[in-house]
């Protein structure tokens, strides 16, 4: 044991100022809370997990069809995990899986009418939660700034090499599927244009 009077944490030479660490920790905590609430909402309203919802919305945003890889890339998820979830969604009749005519080894995932209907049924509630928890305490200026910052950060991360080199070979996810995920406007193509 140790009789402590000062901080136990010893930040090294890289020491960012407290503001930086504070922003980071607060960001992570807020997002954690938001994710948790969203999860509850989706489960209650449509019996979907957050990942399943993301899969369905990604498909819908991509005009209904994507390969497994495109899907996994957009959702930031392991391939095997995606296979598992796709199995559940297929069993529930929300998507279908079929061969890709252009590449026989790929699996083409297609959202069904039922899946589309489900997404459109629970989307308003989802948006309501996001609105209530995230958007409400933000001004227009905040929103603009946040969107701007996170877009830059995300692009920066996407561009970063996987660090410490992959154990074998790494797929250069640089220019292959250009924004297929349409993450920035997953639901944005709508008539909501103001």
Residues 41 and 83 sit within 8 Å (Cβ to Cβ): no
Q: Which does 193 bind (CB under 5 to 8 A by kind): DNA, its own copies, none?
A: its own copies
In order, the DSSP letters of 80-126 are HHHHHHHHHHHHTTSEEEEEETTEEEEEEEEE-HHHHHHHHHHHHHH
- Judged by CB under 7 A, the residue of 178, 190, 193, 194 near DNA is 178
- Judged by CB under 8 A, the residue of 79, 87, 99, 150 near its own copies is 150
Q: Interface with its own copies includes 170 (CB under 8 A)?
A: no
Site map (CB under 8 A) of its own copies, residues 28-57, x = contact? xxxxxxxxxx--x---x------------x
Q: Interface with DNA includes 104 (CB under 7 A)?
A: yes
Residues 71 and 55 sit within 8 Å (Cβ to Cβ): yes
Assigned token pair, 101: 């005519």
Q: Which does 30 bind (CB under 5 to 8 A by kind): its own copies, DNA, none?
A: its own copies
Assigned token pair, 16: 């960012």
Nearer to its own copies, 79 or 158 (CB): 158
């Amino acid at each position: 044991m140790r009789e402590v009077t000062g901080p136990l944490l010893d930040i090294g030479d890289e020491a960012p100022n407290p503001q930086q660490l504070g922003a980071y920790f607060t960001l992570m905590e807020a997002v954690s809370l938001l994710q948790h609430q969203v999860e509850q909402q989706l489960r209650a309203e449509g019996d979907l997990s957050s990942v399943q919802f993301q899969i369905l919305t990604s498909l819908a945003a991509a005009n209904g069809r994507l390969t497994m890889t495109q899907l996994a890339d957009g959702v930031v998820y392991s391939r095997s995990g995606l296979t598992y979830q796709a199995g559940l969604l297929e069993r529930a009749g929300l998507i279908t899986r079929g061969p890709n005519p252009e590449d026989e080894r790929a699996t083409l995932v297609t959202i069904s009418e039922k899946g589309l209907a489900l997404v459109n049924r629970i989307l308003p509630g989802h948006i309501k939660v996001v609105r209530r928890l995230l958007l409400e305490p933000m001004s227009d200026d905040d929103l603009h700034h946040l969107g701007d910052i996170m877009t830059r950060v995300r692009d920066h991360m996407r561009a970063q090499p996987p660090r410490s080199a992959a154990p074998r070979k790494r797929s250069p996810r640089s220019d292959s599927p250009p924004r297929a995920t349409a993450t920035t406007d997953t639901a944005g193509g709508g008539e909501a244009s103001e």
